[in-house]
Amino acid sequence: MDIDAESCYRALAARDSRFDGLFFVGVTTTRIYCRPVCTARTPRRDRCRFFPSAAAAENGGFRPCLRCRPELSPGNAPVDASGRTARIVAARIEAGALDDEGTLERLAGEMGLGTRQVRRIVRRELGVSPVELAQTHRLLLAKQLLTESRLPIVEIAYASGFGSVRRFNALFRSHYQLAPSRLRRSTTPSAGEASVSLSLAYRPPFEWRAMLRFLSARATAGTEYVTDQTYARTVAVGEYRGWFRVGSAKGKAVLAVEISTSLVPVLGVVLSAIKEMLDLGARPDVIESHLAGDGQIAAAVRRWPGLRVPGAFSGFELALRAVLGQQVSVRAATTLAGRIAAMFGAPIETPIAGLSRLSPSPNRIADASESEITRLGVTIQRTRCLRTLARAVADGKLRLEPAAAPEAAIAALLAVPGIGEWTAQYIAMRGLRWPDAFPHGDLGLRKALGVTSARHVLDASEAWRPWRAYAAMHLWNSLNHVPTETSSDD
């Protein structure tokens, strides 16, 4: 957002939660920066400086407030092309794209951009360089782990993306003027605990029950487990294996996340994926004020405020599921996905009943024979599509993650034999996190709108740009609260 100091100060004085994460305020007398919802006494106007990001505030010489905890603020939602690019870069950096062997050149190349272009966009949108942004993410993740967990400080340093404990200690002291141990709630570090519990913030409202209904209808047996209050799943990131469980926290605009300690070395990656999967960076105020202006969906928007677009922990897993869902019911596709996980997913032990398999890797599906897959009830056409898709992902020719240029990713999907417009748009909507993706050939959307052709659906959707994915969710949700999308792909 544009940083207009007077508007920011009014929002700060009102503690307006709709602006949480859109700007931060630095107080010149204390050199501390806060979220606009901080419960501390509002400083005088002449003592406030406003910043578009936490990294910009820290770059200006301010340290984070221990009361409102800037590391819990929601992320920026996509509003335009450069804003979306900056958000994607920030999410990749938060997930550790610049840690270890990661470089800005590699990150920019993956997004089809030049390094100078990435630097310019990030600087313009967030007020800092990509390297400064990465440093702030590491420090804020470390601060959250120090505050909320009992992990040893050494583990926290590495889990946060620091290459050494010495570097972690030095940066923490130089930025926050205190030793990491000062933030510990307990002086006794954990020893052998099975999980770490953390909080992830969002901008209210959040229709959590609708999110769980959607995920429950599509939960893959053995890999995912959904109750009326929580979502849980198994996870594989590189060589690390584990699980997480997430539920809402009553009375707070946060989700409570429990993550197995086996995933601590890749904690940044897991947290970033959870945020994308649950659409925690969405701006419901902006999205719904736009959609509510169209009479065709206004009633649904008013009835379910805070409805999000469920993403996916793995883009390939989502794509596999989308192909299985072509021209069959949600229940039938869920059954097939469970058989494939049982056949090709590696076993894993977890403390959560029902979680016993990892999602099959692209390599495992690509190497499977046609007969192995078809005997599970998958048609030969879908089987060939799955194997081709898996090979493209395994070889790095197809990247199924949020992209700066979603049109290029959609075109790459359409080039895979067996993937049509519905499947590509559905994958873009949930796997690529493209808010304007819209599977207009969907039978459920026609039913919800009371029209007979995909052309009518597409024409109606023009009024919902650039939030058509959210409009689709509202339409599906209006069908007796149970989305029943069915593709029209051949």
pLDDT of residue 479: 87
* DSSP annotation of 92: H
* Other CB atoms within 10 A of residue 227 CB: 12
Q: What is the per-residue pLDDT for 185?
A: 63
* One-letter identity of residue 39: T
How much of the chain exceeds pLDDT 90, in percent? 67
Q: In percent, how much of the chain has pLDDT > 70?
A: 93
Token pair, residue 388, equals 């081709």
| Domain segments of the chain as ranges | 5-72, 280-477
pLDDT tens digits for 224-251?
A: 999 999 999 999 999 999 999 999 988 8
Tens of pLDDT, residues 190-201: 556 789 999 999
Active site residue 442: yes
pLDDT, residue 184, reads 77
String of b and e for 162-185 (b: at least 16 CB within 10 Å)? Answer: beeeeebbebbeebbeeebeebee
Whether the predicted pLDDT of 79 surpasses 50: no
Which residues contact residue 454 at a Cβ distance below 8 angstroms, ignoring those fewer than 6 apart? 440, 441, 446, 488
SS (H, E, C) 365-434: HHHCCHHHHHCCCCCHHHHHHHHHHHHHHHCCCCCCCCCCCHHHHHHHHHCCCCCCHHHHHHHHHHCCCC
> Beta 32-34 vs 63-64: how paired, if at all?
parallel
**Model pLDDT for residues 323-351, shown as the tens digit of each residue:** 999 989 999 999 999 999 999 999 999 99
Considering 34, 38, 48, 385, which one is annotated as catalytic? 34
CATH pick for 5-72 out of 3.40.10.10, 3.10.310.30, 3.40.50.970, 3.20.20.70: 3.40.10.10
pLDDT of residue 265 exceeding 80, the answer is: yes
User: How far apart, in Å, are the Cα atoms of 415 and each of 99, 380, 472?
Assistant: 33, 18, 24
Tens digit of each residue's pLDDT (9 = 90 or more) over 134-181: 899 899 999 999 999 889 999 999 999 898 999 999 999 998 888 898
The Cα 340–Cα 360 span in angstroms is 8
Residue 385 is among the residues annotated as catalytic for this protein:
no
* Of 55-64, 83-92, 431-440, minimum mean pLDDT range: 83-92
Which one of 20, 279, 436, 442 is the catalytic residue?
442
Cα 482 from Cα 24, distance rounded (Å): 39
Residue (of 311, 270, 269) closest to 93 by Cα position: 269
Number of neighbouring beta carbons within 10 Å of residue 463: 15
Please tell me whether residue 282 adopts helix, strand or coil conformation. coil
- pTM of the predicted model as reported, rounded to 2 decimal places: 0.85
Higher-pLDDT residue of 327 and 32 is 32
- pLDDT exceeds 60 at position 128: yes
Contacts (Cβ under 8 Å, ≥6 apart) of 59: 127, 128, 132, 136
pLDDT band at 403, cuts 50/70/90? Answer: low
For the chain, give the longest Cα–Cα distance: 72
pLDDT at residue number 482: 45
Domain 280-477 adopts which CATH fold? Endonuclease III; domain 1 (1.10.340)
CA angle 231, 227, 302 (to 5 degrees): 80
On the question of a common fold for 5-72 and 280-477, the answer reads no
